[in-house]
Structures are given as structure tokens and as C-alpha cells.
Amino acid sequence: MSDPKKLFIKTYGCQMNVYDSERMAEAMGAEGYVTTEVQEEADMVLLNTCHIREKASEKLYSDLGRLRALKLEKPNLKVGVAGCVAQAEGAEILRRSSVVDLVVGPQAYHRLPQMVAAGGRLVDTDFPVEDKFSVLPARKVTRGPAAFLTVQEGCDKFCAFCVVPYTRGAEVSRPVARLLDEARGLVAQGVREITLLGQNVNAYHGEGPDGAWGLARLVRELALVEGLERLRYTTSHPNDMEDDLIAAHGDLPQLMPYLHLPVQSGSDRILKAMNRKHTADAYLRLVDRIRAARPDILLSSDFIVGFPGETDADFAATMDLIRTVGFGMAFSFKYSARPGTPAAEKDPVPAEVADARLQELQSLVTAQQRAAQEAMVGREVSVLYEKPGRLPGQMVGKSDHLHAVHVQDEAGRIGQLVRVRVSGSSSNSLAAVPVSAAH
């Protein structure tokens, strides 16, 4: 019997790309491929790209350049480009890089095995009529007791800075029955925490047995799955944060007290230019309602500084919003023009101004994150053990609030949900010791 072919996947960007990479690995696994962490021993290299941030294409072509020597050494090596850069650039990737054999968009990757079997240099960036999830093989858990589950794809919001509506397409929600089946299958394989994914996840409107279901109803049904201890969801839009979903945070112990709720700016003028369709005040009132339902919730957000037209006063309004909310975590970026988006046609803020603003904002959010972590010291939290730590007898997992926690627990094992007392805080993680028996 011949050795199986080996597949190496490099994943750029968001959690949805992590999920997509796992599904592509499963699709190729059905064709006899096994995954490898060593690129040099692969028979196929797949680069699953992200187009959200600056210089995404340049990063791709740099990686492809480094693959040239391996391709010369192994002429039969297949090289594929998947994801949002593949969707945006299509056949241009084949033109620019002779090492690439396959280009496949995020809605067509279920057809990857057929593309490989067909041979030649191929591009598939269509938005197929068939549901890719119904074609893909059954899930196989490879990342331990926590798993991602894509429930919704695409976005209809058309923020002025964002390429997602163009690369991922219009909003599409998966049927309830298929999601429940997939979740139960994951739990049967030992998964205890599921994060529901979507470009605009709280706009979920999947077909249920009695009409369309919203995200809140889906979450409530998933909370009934025996053995599923924790639920999260990301990424949300403030305009789709409806009353029943807010209430679910107070009602369901399985729904973790962490919410990523991007605002992007604290200036109404900039929010309007971004086409966000909400105001800073509306966002703050929404935060108040969420905290009323779940007082211990930790909020994170996204911020863009240096958006075209942003003045010192606009930036000051963003800083004021950050101080008012008090985020436990935040992701901040300097604006970068994405070709084809409305904002790309506008004059940018001078780079040195944007750089200075980003540094000032990151200093503030870092201080807030540090304060949130230090406030956890002495408190009891639950941690789901996901892997062994670097030290003997140490386990690493995530807390209810999504903090990385290193627990000194000689008896710990992967998949345990353990009550611990936080004993210390470092820059990006907490230290803790068990305070009760695992269950």
C-alpha cells in the first residue's frame, strides 16, 4: 500500500478561515490526503488567504515566491490559493505566479478535490447554487475540546472600508437542522465548547422547522444539546443585536460572558462616512442594555484609526468612547485602502498622523485589557483545558471570558472543565490553581 499524500495548509486571518481550512483538509482527507505541519514534505500546499488587512496580496506573493524552490525540487507538488484574496484576484494569481496550480474562492472550496483530480491550472471563484456544507464530508475534530461552527456567511452591510460583501457574497444562513446535527456530531467526538461563526453572525436567519430562526433561538436550542457546556459567537454587528439575543446572555449559563462587538469609531461623522448605520450614542446605549442583562460580560471591539477625513476631534471622540465603555480586549488597525471599496477613492490621512493615533489608542486599550485581567486575580472562573502547558503539570485553556489561563494541575487532562482561582496576571494570560474537582 502506498503512503498517503500529505497536505500542508497555511491559514491567514480570521476564525472563519481557520474553520474553512479544517473543512478543506476534511475534503482532501476523503481523497486520501493527510495533513502535515512540515511544508517541505507536502504533496500539496494550500494557502488560505485573508483580504481584510493591508498588503494581503503582497504577503501571498511573498509566500508564493518562497515556494518556488520547493516546486522546482518537487515538480509534482500542487500549490493552491484559497480564501478571499483568491476570490478577489482570481486568474490574476495564476498570471503572476507560475508556481500556483489552483485558485479557489471561499464559496467553492468543496470542489477542491475535483479540481485536483482534473489536473492543469484551474480557477473556481463562482458562487455555486449548491450548498457547500451539504457536499463536504462529516466533521472530524482535530483541535481538541473547542470547535468552530460556521452558521452564516457573507454580509449585506457594505461598510465603506470592507471587502467582505465582494469576496464572501451576500448574507446566507445555514439551515437549523444541519447546524444541530453538526453540533451534536462535534459533541459526540468530545467537543465541549462551540463558537458560532459568521461575517455578521447575529444576522443569522436560518431555515427552521417552523420558519426562519434568529441567532438567539438557535443558541437556545444548542444549549439543550447534552454535553455542550459552552457557547460563543462572533463577529457581531451592533445593528443586529436584538432584544432576544441580549436576553439570552442573561438566561443561558452555556452562553459565555464574552462578546465581540465592533464599533470602529466613536465619531458619528466618521461612522456615517464608514456607512456603519449606527451612532456612537446608539452603541453606548446598546452596551448598557447588554450589561444590564449580563453584568459580568467582557466586551471587545474593533477600531480603525486614520479613516479618510478623520480629524483630531473625530479621533478624540473614539478615545472618549473607549474610556466610557472600558473594553476587556480590543483589536485596532490603521486604515488601509481595499481596492474596490468606496473609501479607497478618498484621500488618506497622512501616515505619520495615523501612526501616532494608532499608538495612542493601542496604549489606552492595552491599559484597559491589563486592568480587566488584573481584576480577575483572586476570582474563581471556569477553564476548559485545551492542551498541556510548557511547564510540567500545567494545563492551558480559556476562561469564561476568553482569557488564556495557565493552570498548575498535575491531574488535569484535555477536555476537563475545571473551576480555578486566578493567582496572577501577565501580559496576555492568567495563572490559576484548581479550587474544585473537575466535572
* Rounded Cα–Cα distance for residues 41 and 325 (Å): 49
Question: Under a CB-based contact definition with an 8 Å cutoff, are residues 52 and 13 in contact?
Answer: yes
What Rg do the C-alpha atoms of the chain give, in angstroms?
A: 22
159 labelled binding-site residue: yes
Nearest Cα neighbor of 408 from 396, 425, 399 is 396
Q: Which long-range contacts (CB under 8 A, 24 or more apart) does 363-367 make?
A: 364/319, 364/322, 364/323, 365/303, 365/322, 365/327, 365/329, 365/330, 365/332
Q: Cell 490559493 appears where?
A: 81
CB contact at 8 A, 260 and 235? yes
Residues with Cβ < 8 Å from 394, sequence gap 6 or more? 388, 406, 407, 408, 409
Instruction: Find out whether 248 is annotated in a ligand binding site.
Output: no
**Is 275 known as a binding-site position?**
no
CB 125 within 8 A of CB 105: yes
- CA–CA separation, 103 and 48 (whole Å): 10
Whether residue 155 is annotated as binding a ligand: the answer is yes
Q: Where are the beta strands (DSSP E) in 339-411?
A: 380-388, 394-399, 404-408
CA diameter of the chain:
69
Q: Which residues are annotated as a binding site?
A: 14, 50, 84, 155, 159, 162
Q: Which residues are annotated as a binding site for [4Fe-4S] cluster?
A: 14, 50, 84, 155, 159, 162
